[in-house]
Amino acid sequence: MPAATKGAAVLNVALGFAFVGLVFAAAGTLRWPAFWVLLIFYVLTTGGWMLWLKRRNPGLLKERMTGKTRPDVKAWDKTIIRAYTLLLVTMLLVAPLDAVRFRWSTVPWAVRGLALLVMLAAWSLIIWAFRENAFLAECVRIQTERGHTVCTTGPYRIVRHPMYVGVILTILGMPVLLGSLFALIPAGLIAALFVLRTALEDRTLQAELPGYADYARTVRWKLIPRIW
């Protein structure tokens, strides 16, 4: 693994540990089974995905770890990423305050279990998208140095942005799994951000990526078949 990728990975892990501590501090206890389930889910899905990507496509892993520093990343995407980060932090701090410390709302365990199943299905879709698309970068830019081409296989035969479908479902499932209805407010705003990002990214790809406009005429739907 290149030094830049290793450095980014180490920084992400350190920040992750610090933030997990902050979430438990907001809850006021380590006895929060739902958050432990979420942590196990995150480690298994994200950790497994990174190990798989390291073996299958190390170039894409490097792009996702360091691509945000590229000068050709769209300015509007940087703004969206900053807003997403702020809303994600807000969501994961509201959840312990709501579900554990003050108990402003409750969610039945059966509904929480359903949310976990939805998140697992969403991650299956995300992994499928990564398996098919070798240019699934973290930030919006045309990866000319990597020979960026249009992906038309797998879930891309159904919608043009399947990974965003998986991300939106995961984000909406997290507050439900954690037992917080109030955390659904920032989660809903994140979902709206990804709908906006989908529209802006799709416009960019149609204008700048050769062959994408033809693909868009064949696969009409961005996120939801027969709706949008």
Using 50 as the pLDDT threshold, list the residues of the chain that sit under it: 4
Q: What's the pTM?
A: 0.91
Cα distances from 20 to residues 25, 38, 42, in angstroms, run 9, 11, 12
Q: For residue 203, what are the contacts with CB-CB under 8 A and spacing of at least 6?
A: none
pLDDT of residue 115: 97
Q: Are 194 and 168 in contact (CB under 8 A)?
A: yes
Query: What is the distance between the alpha carbons of residues 33 and 198, in angstroms, rounded to a whole number?
Result: 34
Closest CA to 156 of 81, 211, 75, 76: 211
Closest CA to 88 of 225, 194, 209, 214: 194
Which domains does the chain carry? 3-218 (1.20.120.1630)
pLDDT of residue 8: 57
Assign 3-state DSSP to the chain and report helix, strand, coil percentages, each to 5. Answer: 75, 0, 25
Query: What is the distance between the alpha carbons of residues 138 and 77, in angstroms, rounded to a whole number?
Result: 10
Q: Are 89 and 26 in contact (CB under 8 A)?
A: no
Q: Are 80 and 140 in contact (CB under 8 A)?
A: no
Q: Are 38 and 174 in contact (CB under 8 A)?
A: yes
pLDDT of residue 16: 74
Interior angle at CA 116, CA 111 and CA 120, nearest 5 = 145
Q: Are 217 and 154 in contact (CB under 8 A)?
A: no
Query: What is the distance between the alpha carbons of residues 63 and 59, in angstroms, rounded to a whole number?
Result: 6
Query: What is the distance between the alpha carbons of residues 32 and 54, in angstroms, rounded to a whole number?
Result: 33
**Environment class of 85 (CB within 10 Å of its CB; exposed 0-12, middle 13-18, buried 19+):** exposed
